[in-house]
Amino acid sequence: MEALTDEEIRELSSHAAEIRKTIVEMLAAAGSGHLAGPLGMADIFAALYFRVLKHDPKDPEWVERDRLMLSNGHIVPVRYAAMAHAGYFPLEECLTLRKFGSRLQGHPEREKLPGMETTSGPLGSGLSQAAGYAYAARMDGKDFRVFCAMSDGEQEEGNTWEAAMFAGKYRLTNLTAIMDRNNIQIDGNTEDIMPLEPLRDKYEAFNWHVIEVDGHNIPQFVAACDEAKAIREKPILILAHTIPGKGIREIEGDYRWHGTPPGKGPTDKIPAEKQAEVFLQELGK
């Protein structure tokens, strides 16, 4: 695929900005949910849904579509927002997040929403699901790609490494994992809770091809996805370094916002009743 033009970069950046605004609005309306991770992954999900993935919002079950597995199900607001902006469902439905009877629950449910490939919640299981799907697709002679978004914190789960070993053994070149390396989890910084480094060396030892990117550099991420298509002997990990809470300087990098919506977050910088308003103003800049 050719490099992005300046106009394409501006368009994708605009999509990411709108996705971030929608995330804040839907979480404020819900009064619960995860904020930092979704904001940090907005650039990547904008690139996925508006450039990288082979998909059709009008035909979510299209047989030849690429599959996107969301292992870190708690960041699903960014996926809902991206899907809505891409045309899978009306944008106003985002405001039903976590409401009783809504298709948009706090963790995704595959059978509720067309275009959602897996139900997820328990961390560490997504890479196993994606590896199994990629293996089955190869057995069936299918040429679509399987993508798996996952968190860095869930690398503490043993199931993840069983999947990494399986994918490496069977050389699943149709599998691309995207790790949100934002260095936080609900109780603090990952390197304080359970040190993960050296992550790149670990995956390479499991026979993966690793590409490190700035997760907020859209051209860099798109180029990494293009590079992944050219790899013919290993599964691919895109190790995306991101800033949790990206776009709102008052919360960037603060693990306390991992699972906290506007209006219920720390008040040392912004009063609770002003948080949603201030966040939207900040994103509007």
The per-residue pLDDT for 122 is 83
Residue that is written with structure tokens 């691919």 in the block: 236
- pTM, full prediction: 0.96
Q: How many other C-beta atoms can be found within 10 angstroms of the C-beta atom of residue 87?
A: 12
Helix, coil or strand: residue 195: coil
Give yes or no for a contact between 235 and 175, defined as CB atoms under 8 angstroms apart: yes
Q: How far apart are CA 88 and CA 132, in angstroms?
A: 26
- Among residues 103, 152, 162, 155, which one has the least CA distance to residue 129? 162
Give domain limits for the chain. 6-284
C-alpha–C-alpha distance, residues 54 and 92, integer Å:
25
Instruction: Report whether the peptide linkage leading into residue 219 is cis, meaning its omega lies within 30 degrees of zero.
Output: no
Residues 6+ apart with CB under 8 A from 143: 64, 174
The pLDDT, as a whole number, for residue 95 is: 97
pLDDT on residue 1? 65
Cα 77 to Cα 24, 197, 245, distances in angstroms:
9, 28, 13
Under-70 pLDDT residues of the chain:
1
pLDDT for position 66: 98
Domain 6-284 fold is Rossmann fold (3.40.50)
Model pLDDT, residue 124: 87
3-state class (DSSP) for residue 55:
coil
Single-letter amino acid code for the residue at 83: M
Residue written as token pair 């990990």: 237
Tokens (6 digits) for 153: 């914190």
Q: What is the pLDDT of residues 104-127, one digit of tens each?
A: 999 999 999 999 999 997 888 999
Could you give the CA distance from residue 20 to residue 36 in angstroms, rounded to a whole number? 10
